[in-house]
Amino acid sequence: MLLAATALGYASVWIEGWLMLEGRAAKIGKVLNVPGNKVIKIMLPIGVPDEKMPQKERKPFEERAWFNSYGAAAA
């Protein structure tokens, strides 16, 4: 979903841990009329960015992904 939003020119951020503090998930659930037996686990606010943020340079795929064993070279 984050990639789709970005491809459409929007910005988003994954919010998880913040929801677990001070009953925030329950408060937001109440505002959104979420049934009491459901719990908000994450939020993905989506909007148009005010400014363009530079992308961080990433390590090559082979240096950040492993298969079948930690540190094993990608096939």
**Sequence spans of domains, the chain:** 2-48
φ, ψ (nearest 5 deg) of residue 30: -65, -45
Query: In 10 A of CB 54, how many CB atoms?
Result: 5
Structure letter (DSSP) for residue 43: B
Angstrom distance (rounded) from CA 4 to CA 6: 5
Q: How far apart are CA 61 and CA 42, in angstroms?
A: 27
**In which residue are the tokens 């005010």 written?**
50
* pLDDT band per the 50, 70, 90 thresholds, residue 68: confident
38-63 pLDDT, tens digit per residue, is 999 999 999 998 888 787 888 888 88
pTM attached to this predicted model: 0.59
